[in-house]
Amino acid sequence: MFRSKNNTGTVVVATIAIVSAYPVLTHAADGAVSDSAATATAAGEASGAASGDAPAAASARDSASSTTETSDASADASATDSSSSGISSVVVSAQRLNEARAGIQTQTGASTYTIDAAAIAATPGGDNTMLNQVILQAPSVAQDSFGQLHVRGEHNGLQYRLNGIVLPEGINVFGQALDAHLIQSMTLLTGALPAEFGLRTAGVIDLTTKSGIFDPHGSVSLYGGSHGEFSPSFFHGGSVGKLNYFVSGDFMRNDLGIESPDRSITPLHDKTTQYHGFGYFEYLLDENNRVSAILGTSHGKFQIPNLSGQQPSLGLTVNGQTDFPSQNLNENQTEVTHYGILSFQHSAGKFDVQTSFISRYSSLTFVPDPLGDLLYNGLAQFAYKRDVAYGLQTDSSYALNDDHTLRAGVYLQRDRATSQTTSQVLQTDDLGNPINDVPVAIADNGQQTQWMESAYLQDEWKLLPLLTMNYGLRFDHYSAYSSGHQVSPRLNVVWKPIDGTVVHAGYSRYFSPPPFELVGSTTVSKFANTTAAAGVAQSNSPLAETANYYDLGLEQRITTGLTAGVDTYYKQSVNLIDEGQFGAPIILTPFNYAHGQQYGAEFTLNYNVGAFTAYGNAAVMRDIGKDIVSSQFNFDPVDLAYIASHYIHLDHEQQFTASGGMSYLWLDTRFSADLLVGSGLRASLTLPDGTSIPNGSHLPGYRQVNLGVSHAFHIPGVDQGKDALTVRFDVINAFDSVYQIRNGTGVGVGASQYGPRRGYFVGVSMPF
């Protein structure tokens, strides 16, 4: 099919057609069920210190110039294929284009933390670990309910990239569109980011996907254990002529789909089934040009877990019924995501450019318990949310001379969001008393379109051999429920005063539109004189956040294999964006604090000598906001009045966070452990007079230790390169620490959740 250049045009046109139609086709298929119960991220070849078999790579502050990594896998592949000059030339061209793609972006001055595929495999759980659990091993990352992550005190604000390409945000809450099987390396960038990064600036999670050309083989795996978990998976990568490919897929079912609300090992009504599919394909047109395509899908069904032994407390009667045991509630949520990316890359001489067309489909469906939800909440709401996004991204780099590298790019995105809700409520009089016990239905549907346009220009200037400055400007504009724009200056400096010491400092002006896909179209007036009436009628649309961000850090190599680092930051925001869960549908809703401050420090330590590797991270932070100025109808009037005149801690603030891990390889057996420590997220503080301070207290601290052991059986005829038949055994939360992530109080906090109880898991993987 790909034997001659005459087929290239056909290949490109066919790939464009497939990627363009992908969300539309899935949209049509999903539409057939949307009326009842419709069924519902970006990587660069990052510079940084990746530590081969380490459970996590060293935290790497950017060097004075962009650097690239050459993986052991690519080197081995090149050596293995050297017997064939044709295959060897393809490998060399692919590797050179990978390095050129990495050079298009710069991380100069940003705080970076890199974890590669070998590091993931060396942790308890290996590549069966969910992506959010991998990210938790980075500094200043705190866990929250529903698998959410908070980087440096931000609620979300994360941007995912696949091979340097922005993946538009989706609606999924519980499920994750990306999984660890596809990762060659993962880099978390935080701090004062260079000008090519924008819109979501709490952190950029840059995923480099695997490519079959460098390690051509496949593997099938089976993993499972406690909580009824059963998870088969596979991957296969290879090449045919100039076509390289990598595909993977996995399925998972268990009885702990969402965190337990009552500290039980296996909660009531908490089953989940999930699957992921991923494909990466690239075709080398010649040594300077290639086209690539990424296709991915995820689908998750979740039961909403129940507490036991409770009864409704609102005093309502629905169709003559007042009692409803809480263990009988039946709420369910389905989340679906599909994405496709088509890219063209050109690299010749001093000029490199990559242009990508991006599409993403995302939907969420919540099906309530019609009677139970109405008795417990005064509202039983069916909710369907859908967002279809298309984007165009171009990034380029030109080496003007030995001292200057210019980079420029543009990003365009169009979203079309659909929100459909049908709410069962009881009608009330002016005093809030139900008129009768017969529910009425209120439909509240709407659609909205968002446009975002961004452009940047920057120069990486080597002032001195050991001093580099990166400076630039970025422009962002959006138009949706609200609109705004900003020109944002960026400045970063990296200095290497002596061998083994790197100092970085930076300032970034940020502009972050509200998460469009989460903004609802609730018409507050429709719910007047019902059991779902808002205490506050005001409902301003969420606004864009603007901020000044300052970052200063140092990394020091102490001895061979041992490095230490410290990083400090301060952020001052106007219209700080936060998110909360309001009501029974598990859908996050954005809102703004008029003023916000976030600041802190993080410390890193990494050791890698021989067969032993270890790392440790610790962070302290403070995150506060004042005066809620959007989505006010979701809040209690007393809380709104207090917050209007007082700074409060943000609900996702965890003042102390730590993570660590180690790995030791003895012969073909690997022993590993990792650790999570937190001082606890915020909760409301109840005063002696019965009033409360929103987010005025915090939950008790916790620690969770995970252990793992794996053994590789090298069998002639079975081994594939470095991959061998491997058996593993993992213990998650080895000391069965019982800790609460949320207690159901605090601003925008919907329910109580606990961390996972101790679980035992076994797995086996077979290469082919």
The pLDDT tens digits of the residues spanning 437-464 come to 999 999 999 999 999 999 999 999 999 9
- Residue 608: which of 116, 110, 87 has the closest Cα? 116
pLDDT value of residue 174: 72
- Mean pLDDT score, 295-318: 95
* Model pLDDT for residues 114-146, shown as the tens digit of each residue: 999 999 999 999 999 999 999 999 999 999 988
| Helix, strand, coil percent content, the chain, rounded in steps of 5 | 15, 50, 35
DSSP state of 700: P
Query: Which residue would you say has higher pLDDT here, 431 or 156?
Result: 431
For residues 300 and 338, is the Cβ–Cβ distance under 8 A? no
Q: Is the pLDDT of residue 468 over 80?
A: yes
Neighbours of 416 (CB within 10 A): 15
Which residue is listed with tokens 């604090």? 593
Average pLDDT for residues 702-727, to the nearest whole number?
90
Higher-pLDDT residue of 266, 476: 476
pTM reported for the whole predicted model: 0.87
Q: Which of 589-593, 596-600, 619-623 has the lowest mean pLDDT?
A: 589-593
DSSP string, 385-430: EEEEEEEEEEEEEEE-SSSEEEEEEEEEEEEEEEEEEEEEE-BB-T
Q: How much is the pLDDT for 89? A: 78
Highest-confidence segment of 33-47, 381-395, 709-723:
381-395
Averaged pLDDT for residues 67-74: 37
> How distant, in Å, are the alpha carbons of 45, 190, 205, 576 from that of 488?
26, 17, 21, 17
Instruction: Return the minimum-mean-pLDDT range out of 47-61, 173-187, 272-286, 355-369.
Output: 47-61
Do 763 and 221 contact (CB within 8 A), yes or no?
Answer: yes
Predicted local confidence at residue 92, as pLDDT: 86
Nearest alpha-carbon partner for 698 in 736, 758, 654, 749? 654
pLDDT tens per residue, range 178-198: 889 999 999 999 999 999 999
Least confident of 60-64, 422-426, 613-617: 60-64
Q: pLDDT-based confidence at 170, cuts 50/70/90?
A: confident
**Rounded to whole angstroms, how far apart are CA atoms 247 and 210?**
9
| pLDDT > 60? residue 38 | no
pLDDT at 525: 86
Radius of gyration (C-alpha) of the chain in whole angstroms: 26
Higher per-residue pLDDT: 19 or 618 = 618
Q: Would you say residue 511 has pLDDT above 90?
A: yes
pLDDT at 423: 94
- What pLDDT does 584 receive? 63
Give pLDDT tens digits for 493-509: 999 999 999 999 999 99
Predicted confidence (pLDDT) per residue in 365-410, tens digit = 999 999 999 999 999 999 999 999 999 999 999 999 999 999 999 9
Query: What mean pLDDT value characterizes the chain?
Result: 87
For residue 735, pLDDT over 90 is answered with yes
What would the pLDDT profile of 618-661 be if each residue is shown by its tens digit?
999 999 999 999 999 889 999 999 999 999 999 999 999 999 99
Q: Read off the pLDDT of each residue in 512-530 and give the average, rounded to a whole number.
A: 83
Phi, psi of 482 (to 5 degrees): -135, 180
Q: Are 191 and 506 in contact (CB under 8 A)?
A: yes
Q: pLDDT tens digits for 195-235?
A: 999 999 999 999 999 988 888 889 999 999 999 999 999 99
pLDDT of 74 strictly over 70: no
The continuous run of DSSP H or E covering 20 comes out as helix 8-34
